[in-house]
Amino acid sequence: MTNAATQDTVPAPALERRDDMGRLVAMTWHGAGADADTGSARWLVAVDGSACSLRAVAMVAGLATLEKGAGVDLVHVQPWLNKEAAETELPRRGWAATAQARQLLDAAAVRWRLHVVMGEGAPEIASLADALGSRGIAIGSRGLTATESLLLGSVAYRVVHLARLPVLIVR
């Protein structure tokens, strides 16, 4: 199979969450060995496919290899989709946007879980970190689009102000 073909094949998630209308709003995949992982030595890393987010993954992978049993939770946030689009697009987009991050963690032998959620970036990231009991949040200083940063304010900046735990911003 080609690399493009394997990125299009999205495995079934371990967990799914739906809203009160039955719309798929979140899902979680477990990487090799991560399903049995209950340790609290986990960082949450926001991934959007940008170079900065991949540097954040690399930084946290390095930290995770220093501590026995440490793992990484990746999170990818998609904007709101209608019910029909969410069924196919949410998993496909999240899986594709995090392919390089998952490969990086696999190469470093770091256990990972992937969380793909729908909503507004910063609040979803901060909320998930709290819900998971993460030790901290790592996020790239710049995402994929500079225009969004100018119009909406930086997601990293908003995460710093919303988070109740340490935030590592990686350039």
CATH value at residue 120? 3.40.50.620
Question: pTM of the entire structure?
Answer: 0.88
Dihedral of alpha carbons 57, 63, 65, 70, sign = negative
Residue 151's pLDDT is what? 45
User: Mean per-residue pLDDT for 142-163?
Assistant: 71
Residue 53's pLDDT is what? 94
Range of the domain at 141: 27-170
- Asked if residue 2 is part of any domain, the answer here is no
- Asked if residue 12 is part of any domain, the answer here is no
- Asked if residue 102 is part of any domain, the answer here is yes
Is there a contact between 113 and 71 (Cβ–Cβ < 8 Å)?
yes
Q: What is the pLDDT of residues 40-65, one digit of tens each?
A: 679 999 999 999 999 999 999 999 99
How far is 42 from 9, CA to CA, in rounded Å? 27
- Asked if residue 146 is part of any domain, the answer here is yes
- Asked if residue 77 is part of any domain, the answer here is yes
Strand-pairing partners, residue 75, are 46, 115
- Asked if residue 3 is part of any domain, the answer here is no
How many domains does the chain contain in total? 1
35-65 residues labelled b (16+ CB within 10 A) or e (exposed): eebeeeebbbbbbbbbebbbebbbbbbebbe
* Residue 136: pLDDT over 80: yes
Q: What is the pLDDT of residues 67-122, one digit of tens each?
A: 888 999 999 999 999 999 999 999 999 999 999 999 999 999 999 999 999 999 99
How far is 45 from 94, CA to CA, in rounded Å? 14
Q: What is the pLDDT of residues 3-47, one digit of tens each?
A: 444 456 899 999 999 999 999 999 999 998 766 555 567 999 999
**CA 121 remoteness from chain centre:** 10
- Asked if residue 5 is part of any domain, the answer here is no
- Asked if residue 37 is part of any domain, the answer here is yes
* Residue 1: pLDDT over 60: no
